[in-house]
Amino acid sequence: MKGNKTLFYCTECGNEFPKWSGRCMSCGAWNTIVERPAEERRQRNSGRRSGASFGAARKARSIAELDTSEELRFATGMGELDRVLGGGAVKGSLVLVGGAPGIGKSTLMLQICAQLCQLGDVLYVSGEESEHQIKMRAERLEVCRSNLYVLSETNLSDIVESVHELHPNVLIIDSIQTMFNDALDSPPGSIGQVKDCTMALMQLAKGEGVTVFVIGHVNKEGSIAGPKVLEHMVDCVLYFEGDQHMSYRILRAAKNRFGATNEIGVFEMVDKGLAEVPNPSETLLSGRPEDAPGTCVTCAMEGARPVLAEIQALIAPTAYSNPRRTYNGLDSNRGAMLLAVLEKRGGLKISTCDAYLNVIGGLSLDEPSADLAILIALASSYLDQPVRSDLAAIGEVGLTGELRSIQNIGQRLSEVQRLGFKKCVVPWQKTDQLIQLSGIELIRVKNIGQALQAVLGK
C-alpha cells in the first residue's frame, strides 16, 4: 500500500513545489515552505473556497436582458470623496483606501458612516481598535447612529458570519493587513493572507451586493503593503496623501472601474475630523508671500480639475564639493533635468550651488506643464529678483530649451483668471488654440530665454 502523498507549499504566496527548499522561488521569502499531506491541503483549500463562495451556481445571461434601471450609485456624504469615486460609491463594489500611518484613513471612513447610515445599515470592522475606542472616536466625530454596528475582530470567518446575520449595506474593514483566514498557516499581514482575505471580501461584495471599503497600510516605498494582485482584484484604489504634520490631505484615485482616474479630493484635518476643501486653488495659495524671490505659480490638471500650485525654489552657494539637490512634491529626475537645461540654455551657473524645490501644501506635481514655473522660480532665486505676484506660468520645457504646447489650456487659463492673476506666461501656440480671456494678459514665448527676459528682464 502506497503511503500518503505529501506536497510542499509556501505559506506566504501559496505556490506548491515538488520538494522542500529554503527559499520560495515565487515570492522570494525564506523559510516559508512547509510540508503537508496532499489530502489535508486539499481539504483546507476546499473549506476556504466554500466559506467565501458566491452561493448558488450562476448561469451566463445575455447583457441585453440585464436590468440597469435600479440606481447603483449612492452619495457618501462627502463631495470630495464622491468626486474621486466618479460620482459616488457603487453598490457591490470593493474600494481600497491606502495611506501612511496617521494620515486620516480611519477618520475618513468613520466620517462617511453618518451619511451611509441614512441609506441603510453599516458594519464597521476594526482589527486595530476595540469597540469602546471606536465609540470614543465616533463621539468626537459626531457620527453615532443606531444602525452603525461595530465589531472588533480579525478572524475572517467570524466577519463573514456577522455579515450574513446583519445583512449590512456597507462593510468597512480596518485594516486588511490585520485580517486572517484560519485555514491558512501564515500569519496576518502575509502575502497569502492578504490575497485570500481580499478574495473573500470581493466574492462577498459581488455575491451579496454589499459595498465594501477596505483600508490598507503602505510600505516604506509608498505602495500598499501586500501582493500587487491586491490592487488588481479591487474595483477602486484610492491613495490618501499629504504630510501628517500639515493640515491638508489629498485623496487621489489610482484605479477606478466606474469613473476617471487621477481625480483628487482635498481635505483639511480639523479638530472634528476631516473638512472638505471645495476650492483647493485658493486654499493652496493662501499665505503666499509677495515680492519674494524664488516663487512662481502654475496650474496643473488633476483629473478634470485645474489646480493652482505654488512652487518655491532656493539657490544657495554650497560649502561642499557635491552640491545638494532636494525635491519635495516633484520628481527628482525631472528636477535634475530642468536644472541642467537652465544652466545650459539659460546661462545660469547653478552647478556650483545647492538647489531646493518645494511644492506648497503637500501637492505632488507629476505632469510636465509645471516645468516653466520651476525654471522661473529657480532663476528668480538665483538672480534674487522677485516675480510679480499676479503672474503665473504654464508650459513644458524640452532639452533644447524650447517650450512645448500643453493640453487643456482653456481650463487652466480660466482657473488662473478666476484667482485674480493678471498675466500668464504660456508657450507660443496657434491663435485658435489659445482662449483669449478678458482681464488676463498672455505672454507667449518660444523658449526659456524669452520667458526669463519677459519675467525677470534677464
CATH architecture of the domain formed by 283-456? 2-Layer Sandwich (3.30)
At residue 51, the pLDDT reads 43
At residue 37, the pLDDT reads 66
Question: Rg (Cα) of the chain, in Å, rounded?
Answer: 27
The CATH number of the domain covering residues in 72-278: 3.40.50.300
Measured over all CA atoms, what is the biggest interatomic distance in the chain, rounded to whole angstroms? 94
Q: Give span(s): CATH 3.40.50.300, the chain.
A: 72-278
- Grid cell at residue 281: 486653488
Q: Is the peptide bond before 175 cis (omega within 30 degrees of 0)?
A: yes
For residues 48 and 181, is the Cβ–Cβ distance under 8 A? yes
Q: Give span(s): CATH 3.30.230.10, the chain.
A: 283-456
Whether 48 shows a pLDDT value over 60: the answer reads: no
Model confidence at 244, in pLDDT bands (50, 70, 90)?
low
At residue 54, the pLDDT reads 44
Burial degree of 13 (CB within 10 A; 0-12, 13-18, 19+): buried
**For residue 175, which of 211, 105, 131, 127 has the smallest C-alpha distance?**
127
- Grid cell at residue 113: 458612516
At residue 438, the pLDDT reads 65
At residue 69, the pLDDT reads 64
Whether 41 shows a pLDDT value over 70: the answer reads: no
- Grid cell at residue 183: 485555514
Q: Note the pLDDT tens digit of each residue in 195-206.
A: 889 999 999 998
CA distance 427 to 372: 9
- Grid cell at residue 343: 544652466
Whether 361 shows a pLDDT value over 80: the answer reads: no
Comparing 124-133, 147-156, 162-171, 250-259, the range with the smallest average pLDDT is: 250-259
Model confidence at 24, in pLDDT bands (50, 70, 90)?
confident
Give me the residues paired with residue 426 across strands. 444
Whether 50 shows a pLDDT value over 70: the answer reads: no
Q: Which residues contact 442 (CB under 8 A, 6 or more apart)?
A: 413, 423, 424, 426, 434, 436
Averaged pLDDT of the chain: 85
Q: Note the pLDDT tens digit of each residue in 173-190.
A: 998 999 998 887 778 887
Model confidence at 283, in pLDDT bands (50, 70, 90)?
confident
At residue 68, the pLDDT reads 67
Q: Look at the block and give the residue holding cell 515565487.
A: 26
Q: Note the pLDDT tens digit of each residue in 101-139.
A: 888 899 999 999 999 999 899 999 999 999 999 999 999
At residue 197, the pLDDT reads 92
At residue 433, the pLDDT reads 52
